[in-house]
Amino acid sequence: MESEFDQRLIKLREQFQLKEKELEEIQTRFVPQMDTDVLRLKMLSELEGPHRKELESKQALIDEQATNLFTLKRKYEDLRADSESNRVF
């Protein structure tokens, strides 16, 4: 029984090593001379770029609208104060 186990273990190790070699070959075919981290960072920047630009655009619009809101509130307060001062007379 122990012999069967040892043989099975040896066979599994051989299969594992074979699959490891196959994976290495596939990696060298599809990612020749390019580090996977570099590739990952490149892909991330390519995917992130358009979204970052859109986010910056939306943030600029929000900032502009906040400035407009502040200006309108200030004008409203001025008009209200003028209206109240006209009522007193």
Does residue 22 have a pLDDT over 70?
yes
Which value, in Å, is the radius of gyration of the alpha carbons in the chain?
34
Cα dihedral value 37, 40, 42, 44, nearest 10: -140
- Average pLDDT, stretch 56-79? 96
Question: Which of the two residues, 72 and 47, has the higher pLDDT score?
Answer: 72
- Residue 50 is predicted with a pLDDT of 82
- Residue 33 is predicted with a pLDDT of 62
- What's this model's pTM, rounded to 2 decimal places? 0.47
DSSP, res 32: T
Does residue 88 have a pLDDT over 70?
no
Domain ranges of the chain: 1-35, 53-89
